[in-house]
Structures are given as C-alpha cells and as structure tokens.
C-alpha cells in the first residue's frame, strides 16, 4: 500500500481504543498497522511492524504508558510517538516529551488536532505519506458575472482531476441560494452542506464523509442546501473547519462560490491555494475583473488569484484578448474554448462533458488545466509572488478602440 501513514496504537481501555480506531479508520491515507491493549507488549509489536507513528494513550496507567513511550523511542528511533491523555498536567507532558514523545494531545482525540499534529511531525522529519510530497490544493472558483460557466468548469475540472488515481477530489457548492453542481452531475444527494452545519458541534471526518455523494467519475460532491434560507448555515470559522477536515483525505478541494462575496465566499478565498476568477471577454465581465482585482489586493489575495477566460474564440463578438489584458492588468492563466452546444447538452443530461466528449476542444482544455494543477507547474514561487501589473486603460476604451 502506497501513499499512507502506517500507525500502531496502544490503549488498555477498550472504549477509548475503539474510539481511536474509528477515527483512524475514517482516514483513507492512515493505515492502522497494529493495535495493542497492553503497554508491556507494545514495544515488541512496534519492532515487528515498524510503523511510522506510534500512538500511546496514557489514561489507563500513566506510569506504564510513559515507560512504553521510552522503550519504543529507544528501540525504534525511526518511529514518531504521539501521546494522548485526558490529563494536561505539566509534569506529565514534560515527562512524556523527555521519554521521546513528539506530540502530546488531549483526549478524547479530535480529528483536526490529530491532523495538525501529524502534519507537524511529518514536517519535522522531512517526510510525507510514504515518502511522497503530494500536497493538498484548495481551489476556489468565482465567476466575474452570472452565467460565465463557473460551475461547469468547477464540476468538470473536479472530474478531470479525479481521473488521476493518485487524487482524491471533492467539490463544494457554496452558492447556497442557486447552486446547481448537483444538476451538472445528475446527483440527488441524501445530505447537503446544511446537514453538515446542523451537526457542526460534533462533526468528525466519518460524519463529514457520509455527507458527501460520490459521482461515477470518483469525484465527491458536497451540495448546497435544498431550501432557501435567509441566514447562512454556518459561520466562516466553521466553514474553514469543514475544509480542514476535508483536507485530511482529499488531495484537491474545488469550491464553487456565489457571486455575492459573502463572508463565507471570502473565507473560502482566504483558505484557498488558488483563486480562479472565471470571465468572458465582454465588457461587463472585464469591468468586474478589475473590481475583483482591487478587492483581492486589499485583502492580500492577489498573489493567488488567476484569471481563466471561458468561451474563448468567439471572434468579432468578443473583445480581443490583448485589449482585455491591458485593462485587467494581469496575465490570463488559462483559456477554455467555446463549445456551447456541448456544454448545454452536458448540463441537460447531467453528464460531465469531460467524460461524455473527452476528445472535444473544451474537454482537452480542462484536462490540460488539471494536468497543470497536478504538476504544480506554476503553483510554486511564481504563485506566491505578486502578479505583474500592467497599466490599465479606461474600461470603456473597448467602445472606441478595436
């Protein structure tokens, strides 16, 4: 098995050991190599199985648990040790660290605390999942105007990324009022983001994953609520926690936000690695791109903002790309050709065009964009740098210049 973190746990208390097992078994890339109910046997088990991480619960007998930490640390130095306890006494924490523990977490163990600790341990050791360095990417997609094809691109990009067996992809429909990602995938979901919000105080990964619906393309969907509501179902902080839990097992999260720049939309942009602004080459869209650029700069989001031109190639009915670049002041990251009849057919049939018409120009463009994301070709230092600015002309110069 590849791309996993192998773990062994010891906890003489059956109920808490089963709770730990259930948490770990809900994470696709964590492999529970061994479990043990006796501290005195744990070192031998670790020596035999050679896990990357050993998790020791101290609550049954702190002294025997601490002794097991010390023994494992000496016998298998390559194994990182994580300690869990209801007690947060300073002397206990200090002794655990002296005995070789890398992390000391509070019981009952919470998934987000566990994931953060595991990430710190892997960062310190310079390792990753079975030596791989594949990182998560959160991509937030926002349209420059209604009807620019943002949801179509989000759904099909998710399906294209999911075609890579090394990827785990989830699409989040954050257009809470009028989102239609479920229509594009012909999915009638049992649960929505509303169900996640209703259980936010006791949310764990297992519950969250049950709220997702998997499409035949292997991509998962977290759809918008069924009913229209006046209030948002969750706070920005709660949304960021949901995203953090999803990052535990998915390599790619694609968030399709509304056009309203609500607090939830902005939160999705803040946690994103990349913000794809989807536009067409017409005056209303390009005017909004200029406004959005200003917003991104004011909120320190400009460095991860990338412009995607959709329905490119309409000829005289569009503003030229060169004139558009003069106005928006940044390069175009990708262009998606216009094949409107294919997109309409895809939407009406509920079948992604990336699978229904894989050799079409629009599908090939989406596949190239997915490959670009996977290869991280331009998502390194260039992505964190401020985009090169161009001198902007008047937005309405298109009316007089050809």
The pLDDT tens digits for 32-80 are 889 999 999 999 999 998 999 999 999 999 999 999 999 999 999 999 9
**313 in the same domain as 201:** yes
Structural domain includes residue 387: yes
Structural domain includes residue 192: yes
Which CATH number goes with the domain that contains 180?
3.40.50.300
**117 in the same domain as 155:** no
**179 in the same domain as 210:** yes
Tally Cβ neighbours within 10 Å of residue 75: 12
**368 in the same domain as 238:** yes
Q: Check whether 376 has a pLDDT greater than 80.
A: no
Structural domain includes residue 132: no
**167 in the same domain as 41:** no
Radius of gyration over alpha carbons of the chain, in Å? 24
Structural domain includes residue 130: no
Which has the higher per-residue pLDDT, 385 or 307? Answer: 307
**336 in the same domain as 257:** yes
What is the C-alpha separation between 324 and 140, in angstroms, rounded?
A: 23
**57 in the same domain as 168:** no
Give percent above pLDDT 90 in the chain: 61
What is the C-alpha separation between 271 and 275, in angstroms, rounded?
A: 10
> What DSSP string runs through 333-379?
EEEEE--HHHHHHHHHHT--HHHHSTTSHHHHHHHHHHHHHHHTTTS
Structural domain includes residue 212: yes
Q: Check whether 296 has a pLDDT greater than 50.
A: yes
pLDDT tens digits along 83-110: 999 999 999 999 999 999 999 999 999 8
- Phi and psi at residue 196, in whole multiples of 5°? -60, -45
**230 in the same domain as 203:** yes
Give the pair of three-digit tokens for residue 39. Answer: 């501290």
Domain count for the chain: 2
**27 in the same domain as 116:** yes
Give the 3-state DSSP-derived string for 109-132, with helices as H, strands as E and coil as C: CCHHHHHHHHHHHHHHHCCCECCE
pLDDT tens digits along 330-362: 889 999 999 989 999 999 999 999 999 999 999
Last residue of a domain, one of 90, 125, 160: 125
Among 99-108, 124-133, 214-223, 228-237, the least confident range:
124-133
Last residue of a domain, one of 72, 104, 125: 125
What is the C-alpha separation between 361 and 339, in angstroms, rounded?
A: 8
**160 in the same domain as 109:** no
- Domain boundaries, position 395: 137-399
Q: How confident is the model at residue 127, as a pLDDT?
A: 47
Q: What is the mean pLDDT of residues 197-216?
A: 81
pLDDT tens digits along 171-184: 999 999 999 999 99
pLDDT tens digits along 122-149: 765 544 444 444 567 999 999 999 999 9
Q: Check whether 197 has a pLDDT greater than 50.
A: yes
**80 in the same domain as 167:** no
Q: How confident is the model at residue 263, as a pLDDT?
A: 95
Structural domain includes residue 131: no
Last residue of a domain, one of 97, 125, 153: 125
**56 in the same domain as 94:** yes
pLDDT tens digits along 250-287: 889 999 999 999 999 999 999 999 999 999 999 999 99
Structural domain includes residue 360: yes
What is the C-alpha separation between 57 and 55, in angstroms, rounded?
A: 7
Which CATH number goes with the domain that contains 9?
3.40.50.2300
Model confidence at 393, pLDDT cuts 50, 70, 90, reads very low
């Amino acid at each position: 098995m590849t791309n996993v973190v192998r773990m062994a746990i010891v906890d003489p208390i059956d109920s808490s050991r089963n709770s730990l097992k259930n948490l770990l078994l809900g994470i696709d890339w964590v492999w529970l190599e061994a479990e043990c109910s006796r501290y005195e046997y744990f070192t031998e088990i670790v020596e035999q199985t050679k896990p990357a991480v050993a998790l020791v619960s101290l609550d049954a007998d702190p002294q025997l648990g601490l002794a097991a930490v010390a023994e494992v640390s000496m016998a298998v130095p390559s194994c990182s040790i994580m300690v869990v306890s209801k007690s947060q006494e300073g002397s206990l924490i200090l002794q655990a660290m002296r005995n070789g523990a890398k992390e000391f977490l509070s019981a009952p163990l919470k998934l987000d605390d566990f994931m953060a600790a595991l990430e710190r341990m892997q960062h310190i050791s310079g390792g990753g999942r079975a030596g791989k360095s594949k990182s998560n990417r959160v991509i937030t997609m926002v349209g420059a105007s209604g009807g620019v094809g943002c949801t179509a691109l989000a759904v099909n990009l998710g399906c294209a990324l999911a075609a890579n067996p090394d990827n785990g992809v989830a699409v989040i429909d954050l257009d809470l009022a009028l989102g239609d990602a479920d229509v594009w995938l012909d999915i009638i979901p049992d649960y929505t983001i509303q169900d996640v919000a209703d259980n936010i105080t006791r949310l764990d990964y297992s519950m969250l994953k049950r709220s997702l619906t998997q499409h035949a393309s292997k991509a998962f969907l977290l759809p918008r609520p069924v009913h229209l509501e006046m209030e948002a179902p969750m706070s920005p902080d709660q949304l960021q926690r949901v995203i953090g839990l999803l990052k535990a097992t998915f390599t790619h999260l694609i968030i399709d936000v509304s056009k309203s720049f609500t607090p939830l939309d902005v939160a999705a942009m803040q946690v994103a690695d990349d913000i794809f602004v989807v536009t067409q080459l017409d005056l209303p869209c390009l005017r909004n791109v200029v406004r959005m650029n200003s917003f991104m700069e004011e909120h320190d989001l400009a460095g991860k903002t990338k412009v995607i031109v959709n329905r490119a190639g309409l000829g005289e009915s569009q503003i030229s790309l060169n004139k558009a670049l003069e106005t928006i002041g940044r390069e175009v990251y990708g262009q998606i050709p216009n094949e409107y009849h294919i997109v309409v057919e895809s939407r009406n049939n509920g079948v992604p065009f990336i699978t229904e018409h894989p050799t079409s120009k629009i599908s090939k463009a989406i596949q190239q964009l997915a490959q670009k994301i996977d290869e991280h070709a331009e998502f390194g230092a260039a992505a964190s740098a401020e985009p090169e600015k161009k001198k902007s002309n008047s937005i309405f110069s298109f009316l007089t210049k050809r």
